[in-house]
Chains A and B, each alone.
Chain A
Amino acid sequence: MLHIDNLVKTFDGERRKRARSNGKEEAAATKIFAVNDVSFEVGEGELFTLLGPSGCGKTTTLRAIAGLEKPDAGHIAVGERVLFSSKPGEKTVNVPANSRGLGMVFQSYAIWPHMTVFNNVAFPLQVMKRGERPAKREISERVMRVLETMELGSYANRQATKLSGGQQQRLALARAIVIEPTLLLLDEPLSNLDAKLRESLRYELKRLQRELGITSVYVTHDQIEALALSTKIAVMSDGNVVQLGRPREIYQNPNNKFVAEFIGTSNFISGVVSAHRGEQYTVETNDGRLLLDSAADMPGGTEVVVSVRPESMELYEESRPDLPNEWRGSVLTRAFLGDSVDHVIGVGKHELRVRCNPSISIAPGSDVYVRMPPENLSLVPVN
């Protein structure tokens, strides 16, 4: 539905940025790639998330789709309609932001403080071109219908700034969908809310998006939000999409050290592929051999990093030599976290973090056995 091809956006390097890193002086002095050759597709009804740390280019990508930022090159289309296209030798197409017909929710909500709740939502309908603009009565009906959906019906005549944070967020959403846009853009819409409210609105947002079936592009730096909401996630770093997939894929099989580090917590064990048969790999490390399953294609001798999540490891006080990937170590320290207990286990030179059920708590200094089930390990290439 949304097609993004080879999107590039650079900013002029400022003198301030130049001074920051002496090594990259020349590159920074000319152009900074905010978005560097990004391509992806979003299917009908999907909630597609751009996830990454600040400065990774996710917001710039979103603003380029919105038309608020003019890309240097690339192609953006919604369905059959080309919104932006700049290819060498072809005429540049750049539909202005106010003719793209998209809905957008801003991080600050951008609720107009000088208007009532009703007028905020009615605005997109009121500024439509004569001829397309619905009659007054229809505008009022549509606005009220959307406000009811967002449970804001009884606030219609209030001054918009009198709403609470959660209500403002719903108002911003109401305004974005009142024209029934083909595509909804959301720029960190939950980041201004407190933790509890954020969690409840996350489910609310998910329910609404699935019910309305509205195709959405969502930008966030919060991995939990991304995992909970999305049908698909593109993890971005330094202007590039580094991994694209369903939330579970990305969490369980990070194909890249950045992704493994950025999403959740991971232990990294470096080693060398010694053998593989089909998807069954054997990796030799300084502290022992690891067996694991991976769809990656890596010949023997390849240097790799094995990544394993703290919660997918097991801790035993007695050895189970019949099971694979069991390493012996000792507890260095532990921390009680309420719903779990984290143990840091020293194995050779490695320090592995293992997350256990709160009923398990082993005193520092005790000898223990760490087991890493092969299906829970993932193979990450060393770049």
Chain B
Amino acid sequence: MTTASPALGQETVAEPARWRRWLPTPKMLILGMVGLAIGYLALVPLYYLLWGTFFDGNGVTFGGFERAYGHSQILPLIGNSLWFAIGAAVLSLVVGTSLAYLNVRTDVPFKALFFAASIVPLIIPGILYTISWIFLASPDIGLINRLIEPVFGSGAIDIFTIWGMVWVEGLHLSPIVFLLMVAAFRSMDPSLEESALMSGATRWQVFRKVTVPLTRPAIVASILIMVVRSLESFEVPALLGLQNGIYVFTSRIYFVLRSYPPDFGAAGALAVGLLVLALIGVAMANIVGKSGKNFQTVTGKGFRPRPMELGKWRPVMGVAIVLYFILTVIAPLVVLLYTSLLKFYTAPSWDVFKTMTLDNYRELAGMSKAMTALQNSLALGLGSATLVMAFMAIAAWIVVRSRIRGRHLLDQLAFVPLVIPGLVLGLALSFVYLRSPIPIYGTLFILLIAYVTRYMPYGMRYAVISMHQISNELEESAQVSGASWWQTFRRVLLPLLAPGLLAGWVYILVVSFRELSSSILLYSPGNEVLSILIFEQFEDGEFTVLSALGVVMVLTLILLVSIAYKLGAKVGLNRN
């Protein structure tokens, strides 16, 4: 009898009425919403992009392709795009890899400078970096040209060439390659090199026969990623290339849309071409990344090898490092600060220093447009960071923890925007919301949607990695204690995920704060963000006010990044 009664009771309690089982539970509702939102954000813009490119009022058309590719300038366009992308990738690879090797494997001085340089891409947005290089190396006003004028004649260096574009983009990307290659060199078991040394190989043989082959996957992956990033780059080609009519895909799309009347079909056709190139690059990088797994071996205790002694080369390398640091970090920042204190742009001299003034900053403070832009940038950053991390926390649960069929599809959907260049995304979204009845075109919301879409993949990475670090049993024990799914998620998972989610949140806040290439096609007058305002002022030739705005922007970014580091450190302590 005693065994029968609980069974009976269970039967009456656990079996709900038939119709109730068909009602969605709150869990299903939440998961369904997140899944739909990700699918919508990832696929709808692509669909509209293709639709807008291949259809017009009369049905299928290739008119856009004919107008985009059917003229004599298309070969130079493709040539320039590849030259620029591959050139910048090679430059960043050579610089970044040498710096990483020097840092990890040798006794080179000033190692702290390497890592200071590596946060440059975070705190100096591409548009400011490009503008400061114009201040440094334009043939008319460039400071470097003034400096070397007595020796080489006027305008010796011209930044408005394909080489100038390669130089600026390559330098700006080199810290990213540095970080990737440092990771690769560090994860390599040093005894692999030592055993080659013990076998009698010279240093050069060790480097050629062991180090390079073993880091080849990382090298190839880096170069492909950098090619894709350069292909997608908008700031450098727009500011440096347009001056002399050097077009690449991104600047051409922008040009086509800015002419009157804008040719959406042709822009779409160019965007599809760019998308295909980016896809090829990402796919190749993935294949190389997978083949790299074969190289994993047993690793022993982490006995750090004796750093290679550079001997008489040590001072030479030291000078090279300092030069690199000055070129990538100091010079752009200093020239920006310098310009922001001037009445009009001019080369430095004693008289100039005496007339320096804070007028530009005063003007900025009184400029309602600037304040609005700052507010817009901050609001969009906060909004997109919060939305992305909230959605991705749940999406990561679906991908990592649930047994729902199709969860891997969700993972892949969330990564789709990674291969969509920002400018292409902007174009696609304008296709969507020009046609859609939802009246958000010309408001800040369309920018918010663009940012959320663009940074969804990064949020997903942060959330999935944190989710993997939490043992399944913590969740199960909450369930055994009687918590519902939502209670488990809110009271157990979220607090444990918090550090990872916070890191992702800050990262997205920082990158959204300076977004340009999607915004440039989606903003409307009155809704400018900071980078747009800078771009407008550059086109209007307001260099000094622009520099002041740039300084404000860099300072805000430094503040955000250091808050991120602080938070990260504190959270880390708490977890110990």
Query: Which residues does A use to contact B, with CB under 8 Å?
Result: 59, 63, 66-70, 97-104, 106-114, 123-124, 127-128, 159, 161, 165, 168, 172, 175-176, 179, 188, 192
Contacts and interface: CB of A to CB of B under 8 A. Distances in A.
B295 A106 contact: no
Nearest to B217: A114
A130 B440 CA distance: 74
Given A97-B198, A98-B201, A175-B195, A106 B300 contact: yes
Interface in B280-310: 294-301, 303, 305-306
14 contacts: A98-B199, A98-B200, A103-B198, A107-B301, A109-B297, A110-B194, A112-B192, A112-B210, A113-B297, A114-B216, A123-B201, A124-B201, A161-B294, A188-B300
Contacts of B199: 98, 123-124, 127, 175, 179
A34 to B, nearest CB: 12
Contact of B297 (A102, A103, A123, A161): A161
Contact of A111 (B197, B213, B297, B305): B297
Contact of B194 (A68, A159, A161, A176): A68
Contact of B298 (A66, A159, A168): A168
B306 A110 contact: no
B487 interface: no
Going nearest first, the 9 A-B pairs with the smallest beta carbon separation are: A108-B300, A124-B199, A107-B300, A110-B195, A110-B191, A127-B201, A106-B191, A113-B295, A104-B198
B196 interface: yes
B217 to A, nearest CB: 10
Given A113-B214, A113-B294, A113-B296, A108 B191 contact: yes
B202 interface: yes
A59, A97, A175: most-surrounded residue (chain B CB, <10 A)? A97
Interface residues on B, range: 20 to 34
A69 B303 CA distance: 11
A109 B298 contact: yes
Contacts of A176: 198
B205 A70 contact: no
Contacts of B263: none
A33 B255 CA distance: 68
Nearest to B309: A70
A84 B498 CA distance: 55
Interface string B256-285: 000000000000000000000000000000
B213 A101 contact: no
A179 B296 contact: no
B295 to A, nearest CB: 4
Contacts of B192: 110, 112
A110 B300 CA distance: 9
Contact of B197 (A68, A107, A168, A175): A68
Contacts of A188: 300
A69, A107, A188: most-surrounded residue (chain B CB, <10 A)? A107
B189 interface: yes
B553 to A, nearest CB: 36
Given A104-B194, A108-B191, A127-B196, 4 more contacts: A98-B199, A98-B202, A110-B194, A175-B195
Contacts of A112: 192, 195-196, 210, 214
B41 to A, nearest CB: 40
Interface in B168-191: 189, 191
A60 B205 CA distance: 25
A154 B294 CA distance: 21
B290 to A, nearest CB: 15
